[in-house]
Amino acid sequence: MDFLRPDSWADALAAKAEHPDGVPIAGGTDVMVELNFDRRRPSSLIDLTRVRDLSEWYEQDGLVRLGAGVTYARLITELGDQLPGLAMASRTVGSPQIRNRGTVGGNLGTASPAGDSHPALLAAGAEVEVESVRGSRRMPVTDFYLGVKRNALQPDELIRAIWIAPATGPQQFSKIGTRNAMVIAVCAFGLALHPGRKAVGTGIGSAAPTPRVAAEAGAFAGSALDEAGLWESRGELPPSLAREFGQRVRAAAAPIDDVRGSAAYRLHSLSVIARRCLVWAWNDYRKAA
């Protein structure tokens, strides 16, 4: 096995081009588990922790450009105001030790349907910037997830950054698990209110082969709130609307039975947390008036 230590982004791309089956490693919280358990023997590891550019974030063109190597711990302390949904999701990742190492780029690289950051990225309408020596491209995060632990990366590509609009309204995240820490989600949900365009962003985690939006549920909630004039009046959220939203989120899911939970439990709990997220976010929206 080769251990490659590029110290610049250009060198990292060159290394990936030369070793297309090489496995990139950042925080190691997924990759090292596979190595420790002999589940994977890649021909090479490409250590990205020396590429300083990857661990930086800044605002550009009205968006946050989050380097793929920014840890969850930093996201929580530095980006809670701009990206509240993603920061909330980050707080539920593993433990302090895991949050000190794990990165959103790694979550995307692993592309597990249960990755904690995905629902928040979906709800916020994030884009993923990937690059190879052939060039750079950006895609909506919805196009990035292809299947269980499969993503849209070509063999010579690396994830460089995630582009996310700073929140223009309240955001929420909820995750079901057997305890508050060290839990792989049984199911998860992310929600973002976009009052400027009277829209409700959604993201479902761990209840389908990939993370996915509940587009129809979001459109329903956005227009039902609009028809009732609630975006302007900031009036109380009708309980029937919240319940119906939960049911429609449930309808967008396609979970399986596995060791963490049954499909039936996932569907039920998803409808509950989706309803709660909408209620919490709407109450925040009312308070912000």
Q: Which is nearer to another protein, 25 or 120 (CB)?
A: 25
Please give the Cα distance from 173 to 71 (Å, whole number).
Answer: 18
CB 158, CB 130: distance < 8 Å:
yes
* Contact region with another protein (CB under 8 A), list: 20-28, 156-164, 165-173, 215-223: 20-28
Residues β-bridged to residue 59: 64
Please report, as residue ranges, which positions from 82 to 121 form the binding site for another protein (by CB under 8 A).
94-98, 100-101
Q: Which is nearer to another protein, 41 or 287 (CB)?
A: 41
Q: Does position 25 bind another protein by CB under 8 A?
A: yes
Buried-exposed string 134-169: b where 16+ CB fall within 10 A, e elsewhere: eeeeeeebbebbeeebebbbeebbbbbbbbbbebeb
Q: In the chain, how many H helices and how many E strands?
A: 12, 13
Which residue bears the tokens 């949050």? 99
Please give the Cα distance from 20 to 15 (Å, whole number).
Answer: 8
Q: Which is nearer to another protein, 42 or 140 (CB)?
A: 42
Q: Which of 6, 22, 24, 27 binds another protein (CB under 8 A)?
A: 27
Please give the Cα distance from 195 to 285 (Å, whole number).
Answer: 9
CB 258, min distance to another protein, A: 18
* Contact region with another protein (CB under 8 A), list: 38-46, 107-115, 225-233, 266-274: 38-46
Q: Which of 33, 139, 264, 288 binds another protein (CB under 8 A)?
A: 33
Please give the Cα distance from 85 to 172 (Å, whole number).
Answer: 5
Please report, as residue ranges, which positions from 149 to 208 form the binding site for another protein (by CB under 8 A).
180-182
Q: H-helix or E-strand containing 32?
A: helix 31-36
CB 78, CB 56: distance < 8 Å:
no
Please give the Cα distance from 109 to 168 (Å, whole number).
Answer: 28
* Contact region with another protein (CB under 8 A), list: 39-47, 118-126, 133-141, 193-201: 39-47
Q: Which is nearer to another protein, 45 or 123 (CB)?
A: 45
CB 54, min distance to another protein, A: 14
Which residue bears the tokens 């590891």? 45
Which stretches of 111-183 are DSSP H helices?
117-124, 141-144
Residues β-bridged to residue 212: 204
Q: Which of 11, 18, 47, 53 binds another protein (CB under 8 A)?
A: 47
CB 11, min distance to another protein, A: 15
CB 93, min distance to another protein, A: 10
Q: Which is nearer to another protein, 60 or 97 (CB)?
A: 97
List Cα–Cα distances, 155 to 15, 16, 159, in angstroms.
Answer: 12, 8, 11
Site string for another protein, 48-87 (x = CB under 8 A): -x--------------------------------------
CB 192, min distance to another protein, A: 25
Residues, the chain, total? Answer: 289
Could you tell me which of 196, 279, 183 has the C-alpha nearest to residue 237?
279
Residues of this chain that interact with another protein (CB under 8 A) are 1-3, 5, 25, 27-29, 31-33, 35-37, 41-42, 44-45, 47, 49, 94-98, 100-101, 180-182
